[in-house]
Copies of this chain bind each other. A is one copy, B any other.
C-alpha cells in the first residue's frame, strides 16, 4: 500500500467537494483516513479537511490523485510542476497534463502562476523567460516549448457554488425540461442581460439556423439593435437563411410570413449566396442597400462583431466564412476572450465547439427544443450552464418582451 496526504479547503461540504472526493476514493477501491476535519460553523465560513489516501499501487494512487485534483484536492507535499520540451511542432511530450476549463495554477520555482485562458483539453506551456503559463492546443505547440507534464504542482480550483438566492444560474447545470414553467426564468435572464450591459460584460450569441427557420430572427435583430449583443457566432447556413429570408421572404424555401402555406423556392438559398458572392460580401450588400433587414444586417449596421464558420454540409459559402476548422478555432479562442455570458440558441455543433473553448466561469444559457441537446450541453457539470427545453422562437419573443418592460421601467 502506498499513500499520499491531500487537503481540501473552501465550501467543501455544501459544494459537494468532500463527498465527491470520498466517493472517488471508495469507488476506485482505495482507502482513506480522515486526519483532520474542520467544518465551518456558519454559512460564510470555509471548511478544511486533511485526508490520507492509500491505494495498492503507485499507478493507481497517481490515477486517483489526478482525479481528486479535478475536485480541488491539493497534495500536501507540494513540489514544482515538471516541464518537458515539446518534441516537435504540434506534438506534446508523452505525459503532458490535460486541462479542464476550471481555473488552474502551476507551481514553478515554488511560485504559483495562473494558466490563461482556462479552457478544456489543452496542454499548458510555460514561458520561462516571461513567467507565463498558458493553455496551448495541438496546433499551437512548437518544438522545444516547455510543457507541463505529470500532475505534480498543478492546482485546479473547483467551481464553487454561489449561495445567492437571486441568481438564476445558482443551480449549476440546471435543466428546465419541456414540462416546466419558463416565464420566471426568462424574466431573470432579461435582468441578467441588463446587468451584463451595465457591468460591461461581453455577451456572445451562438445562433443556429433554427433561429431563422422558426421566424425568430426579428427578435435577435432587436437584441442586437438594442446593444445587448457583443458577438454573434454562427455557421454559414444561419447567415444564408437570414439573407435569403430578407431577399426572398423564405428560409430554405419556406415562406416565413405564411408558414407552411408558403411557396417552395428551394433554389432561393443558392441565389442568395450568389448575390452575396457577387457583391463581394455581407457588409457590401448592406452598403449597396440590397440587404435591409435581418440578423446579419443588424450586425453590420450596429458594428457588432460576427464570426461565421463553415462545415461540410454548406452551400457556398458566403464570403468571410472561415472554412478551415483549425483556423476557425484559432479565431474563436481570440474572439471569445472576455465573454461573460453566452446564449446558445438551437445550434448543437456550434454550441459544443463553444463549450470546449469557454472557461467554466462563463454563464451559459442553452435553449433548444431537443432535450438530448440540452442535456448533453448542461450535463458536463463543469459549467455555469442553465438549459431550457423550449422552442427558440417563443423564447426570444418573450425575452424581447421582458427587456422591453425592463427598459420602459428605467425611463
A interface, CB within 8 angstroms of B? 13-14, 16, 18-19, 22-23, 26-29, 31-34, 37, 39-43, 63, 67, 87-88, 90-92, 94, 96, 98, 121, 137-138, 163, 165, 168, 171, 174, 176-185, 209-210, 213-215, 251, 254, 256-261, 263-264, 266-267, 269-271, 273-274, 277-278, 309-317, 323-329, 332, 349-350, 352-353, 356, 369-372, 375, 389-391, 393-395, 397-398
Chain B residues, Cβ within 8 Å of A254: 180-181
Chosen A-B contacts, 5 in total, with CB atoms closer than 8 Å, are: A88-B278, A137-B315, A176-B260, A311-B325, A323-B325
Count the copies.
4
Our pick among B31, B165, B178, B259 for the contact of A184 (Cβ within 8 Å) is B259
Q: How far is the CB of A313 from chain B (nearest CB, A)?
A: 5
Chain B residues, Cβ within 8 Å of A264: 67
A19-B19, A180-B214 as given contacts; A163 in contact with B26, CB under 8 Å:
yes
Question: Besides A121-B315, A184-B260, A313-B349, 16 other CB < 8 A contacts?
Answer: A14-B19, A14-B22, A16-B19, A32-B42, A33-B41, A34-B39, A91-B277, A91-B278, A94-B271, A178-B210, A180-B254, A183-B259, A311-B349, A315-B356, A369-B390, A393-B394
Our pick among B183, B258, B371 for the contact of A371 (Cβ within 8 Å) is B371
Our pick among B94, B261, B309 for the contact of A274 (Cβ within 8 Å) is B94
Chain B residues, Cβ within 8 Å of A389: 369
Chain B residues, Cβ within 8 Å of A94: 271, 274, 278
> In the docked arrangement, what's the CA distance between A372 and B350, Å?
19
Chain B residues, Cβ within 8 Å of A323: 324-327
Q: How far is the CB of A266 from chain B (nearest CB, A)?
A: 7
Chain B residues, Cβ within 8 Å of A375: 371, 375
Chain B residues, Cβ within 8 Å of A28: 263
> In the docked arrangement, what's the CA distance between A270 and B179, Å?
20
Our pick among B171, B215, B258, B312 for the contact of A325 (Cβ within 8 Å) is B312
Contacting pair A391 B178 (CB below 8 A): yes
Q: How far is the CB of A257 from chain B (nearest CB, A)?
A: 6
A184-B257, A214-B179, A260-B174 as given contacts; A165 in contact with B27, CB under 8 Å:
yes
A309-B312, A311-B349 as given contacts; A184 in contact with B258, CB under 8 Å:
yes
Our pick among B34, B260, B277, B324 for the contact of A41 (Cβ within 8 Å) is B34
